[in-house]
């Protein structure tokens, strides 16, 4: 069986313990590879390698750093078919989605930051006749990047690229549930000529490897994407050590449909924002609020499209809904469906595990599920389900829907569908979320601030925001006299 290896000091190596974890293919429900069950020793070795390579890497020219990051991006594109296949097998997502979204975006993450550092500039502040200040931005040192399973290579590179571009060296940990593309990525880094020790990838469990990275005194900043509870645990360890922290956590995003919207567009986009990647995207809109006068019309059109979604083998070209990432996660989602029924939810579509015919008969599939009749404050409408489950709720006024939308502990993104520009502006001002999409969903410009309010996170990623996070600032003040 294939063994995934750690990438430490430029080499692919087995874990010190020689212990291994099983890696599942969720679409067929079987183990297909082994992952290092790494421990403190592996993190220690990775951290040493990163520390040793920091001086040279941080002093390299931006041209050198940019060139090697761009080379990595080029190799991702060259190997995109293999990477997409690996991502689909490891995660359960449709191959077509991995080809269209995950892998191209991973390449773009690398090339975006390869280019961004070439164009970076810093501020200066002039005090007339007194002094001039200029801002120096310096790499922090060794930083930790911890990423989740839902968009494995996409989110892994979204952290690593700015960290490396800014001149840091990195100890990174992908999710133990989807480690394969990070392993293929380490081979790409070797082939691209990334100097040894600059990036180190340690595979293994969160409470072991992730925890060791978080608490290591030489690792000065932690960039994390994952569940809110894990974010809390990381903050408990890292905050008293005064580490820089970037936390991208959960969401329970409202998708708000006003009666003056382009209905066809709103319906089609809502199907995507509900069920893309089996609903396992922190930006999915799992609470759909519809102005009462178009509620029935929206519901009818929405359900028609949901029922037409092709669910099954992720490798089939026509598949729109693949497998959930693990049996544990599938059971968690099915339990949420049970709770929604207990809370009085009326099931409009789906609601069960789906058992495909053929090779995927033992996979972890859940039908795209739609409920109505639930109050905005019930647990189904408050807890992050992170699966293919959405609710439909009517509303009568802007004031009411703002109250519904802002009622959760999360604040990641919101979608608003309306043709009234004034209303769009009013809503954007009042919605408690880091991102508001008006008449669209998941349109991403990588320069923009990305992140959430409330329990959806701390800090922002993207463009200058990420480069600022991964640098320390020194203000230099020069007197004129």
Chain contacts with ligand TXE (rule: CB under 6 A): 146-150, 173, 175-177, 206-207, 210-211, 214, 225-227, 230, 233-234, 249-250, 282, 384, 386
The secondary element (H helix, E strand) that includes residue 405 is helix 398-405
Both structure tokens of 52: 């040793």
Name which of 243, 149, 188, 186 is nearest 5 in CA terms. Answer: 186
Decide whether 250 or 314 has the Cβ nearer to ligand TXE.
250
Catalytic residue among 189, 282, 284, 413: 282
Of the pair 49, 146, the CB lying nearest ligand TXE is at 146
* 236: annotated active-site residue: no
Pairing of strands 389-395, 369-372: parallel
- Closest distance to ligand TXE from the beta carbon of 462 (Å): 15
Q: Is 182 exposed, middle or buried (0-12, 13-18, 19+ CB in 10 A)?
A: buried
Q: Could you give the CA distance from residue 404 to residue 356 in angstroms, rounded to a whole number? A: 37
Please answer whether residues 454 and 412 qualify as being in contact, where contact means their C-beta atoms are separated by less than 8 angstroms. no
Contact 424, 403 (CB under 8 A): no
At which residue do the structure tokens 């809109």 appear? 285
User: Residue written as tokens 């293929």?
Assistant: 184
Residue 398 makes CB contacts below 8 A (sequence gap 6+) with 423, 426, 427
CA distances from 248 to 102, 200, 417 (A): 18, 22, 25
**Across the chain, how many H-helices and E-strands are there?**
15, 25
Q: What are the b/e assignments for 41-63, b being 16+ CB within 10 Å?
A: ebbbbbbbbbbebbeebbebebe
CB of 211 to ligand TXE, least distance (A): 4
Q: Can 248 be counted among the known catalytic residues?
A: yes
Distance of closest approach, residue 210 Cβ to ligand TXE, in angstroms? 2
In the complex, what is the shortest distance from the CB of residue 284 to ligand TXE, in angstroms, rounded to a whole number? 10
Q: How far apart are CA 70 and CA 64, in angstroms?
A: 10
Cβ of residue 273: shortest distance to ligand TXE, in angstroms? 15
* Distance of alpha carbon 11 from alpha carbon 204, whole angstroms: 17
In 335-356, which positions are buried (b, 16+ CB within 10 angstroms) versus exposed (e)? ebbeebeeeebeebbbbeebeb
Q: How far apart are CA 178 and CA 149, in angstroms?
A: 5
Strands 457-458 and 244-248: antiparallel
Q: How far is the CB of 150 from ligand TXE (least distance, A)?
A: 5
DSSP-derived letter for residue 439 is S
> Is the CB of 69 or the CB of 284 nearer to ligand TXE?
284
Q: By C-beta, is 152 or 394 nearer to ligand TXE?
A: 152
**Helix or strand holding residue 301 (H, E):** helix 295-307
Q: Which is nearer to ligand TXE, 196 or 211 (CB)?
A: 211
Residue 336 and residue 380 in contact, taking contact as beta carbons nearer than 8 Å: yes
Nearer to ligand TXE, 252 or 320 (CB): 252
Q: Which is nearer to ligand TXE, 225 or 408 (CB)?
A: 225
Residue with Cβ nearer ligand TXE (73 or 249) = 249
Pairing of strands 353-354, 365-366: antiparallel
CB atoms within 10 A of CB 40: 15
CB of 46 to ligand TXE, least distance (A): 14
**Shortest reach from residue 279's CB to ligand TXE, in Å:** 10
Nearer to ligand TXE among residue 167 and residue 388 (C-beta): 388
Long-range pairs of 431-435 with CB within 8 A, sequence gap ≥ 24: 431/254, 431/402, 431/405, 431/406, 432/405, 432/406, 433/253, 434/460, 435/283
CB of 358 to ligand TXE, least distance (A): 28
Instruction: Determine which one of 87, 176, 248, 455 is catalytic.
Output: 248
Provide the annotated active-site residues.
248, 282
């Amino acid at each position: 069986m294939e063994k995934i290896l750690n990438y430490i000091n430029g080499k692919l190596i087995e874990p010190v313990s020689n212990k291994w974890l099983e890696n599942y293919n969720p679409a067929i429900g079987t183990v297909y590879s082994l992952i290092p069950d790494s421990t403190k020793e592996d993190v220690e070795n990775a951290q040493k390698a990163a520390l040793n390579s920091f001086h040279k890497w941080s002093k390299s020219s931006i041209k050198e750093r940019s060139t090697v990051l761009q080379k990595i991006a080029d190799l991702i594109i060259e190997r995109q078919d293999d990477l997409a296949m690996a991502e689909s097998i490891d995660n359960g997502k449709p191959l077509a989605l991995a080809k269209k979204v995950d892998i191209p975006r991973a390449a773009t993450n690398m090339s975006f930051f390869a280019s961004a550092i070439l164009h970076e500039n810093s501020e200066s502040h002039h005090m007339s006749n007194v002094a001039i200040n200029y801002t120096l931005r310096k790499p922090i040192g060794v930083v930790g990047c911890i990423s989740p399973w839902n968009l494995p290579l996409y989110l892994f590179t979204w952290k690593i690229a700015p960290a490396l571009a800014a001149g840091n060296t990195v100890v990174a940990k992908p999710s133990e549930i989807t480690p394969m593309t990070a392993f293929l990525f380490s081979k790409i880094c070797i082939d691209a000529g990334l100097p040894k020790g600059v990036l180190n990838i340690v595979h293994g469990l969160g409470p072991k490897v992730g925890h060791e990275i978080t608490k290591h005194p030489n690792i000065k900043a932690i960039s994390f994407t994952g569940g809110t509870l894990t974010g809390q645990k990381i903050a408990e360890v890292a905050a008293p050590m005064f580490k820089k922290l970037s936390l991208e956590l959960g969401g329970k995003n409202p998708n708000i449909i006003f009666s003056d919207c382009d209905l066809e567009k709103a319906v089609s986009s809502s199907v995507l924002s509900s069920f893309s990647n089996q609903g396992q995207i922190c930006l999915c809109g799992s609470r759909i609020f519809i102005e009462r006068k178009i509620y029935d019309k929206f519901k009818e059109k929405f359900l028609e499209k949901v029922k037409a979604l092709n669910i099954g083998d992720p490798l089939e070209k026509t598949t729109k809904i693949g497998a959930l990432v693990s049996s544990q996660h599938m059971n968690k989602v099915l339990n949420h469906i049970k709770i929604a029924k207990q809370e009085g939810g009326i099931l409009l579509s789906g609601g069960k595990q789906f058992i495909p015919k053929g090779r995927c008969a033992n996979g972890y599939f859940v039908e795209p599920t739609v409920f109505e009749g639930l109050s905005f404050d019930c647990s189904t409408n408050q807890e992050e389900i992170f699966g293919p489950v959405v609710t439909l709720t009517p509303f009568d006024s802007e004031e009411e829907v703002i109250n519904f939308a802002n009622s959760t502990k999360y604040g990641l993104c919101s979608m608003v569908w309306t043709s009234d520009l004034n209303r769009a502006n009013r809503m954007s001002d009042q919605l408690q979320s880091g991102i508001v999409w008006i008449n669209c969903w998941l349109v991403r410009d990588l320069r923009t601030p990305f992140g959430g309010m409330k329990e959806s996170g701390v800090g922002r990623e993207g463009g200058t925001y990420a480069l600022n996070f991964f640098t320390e600032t020194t203000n230099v003040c020069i007197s004129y006299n």
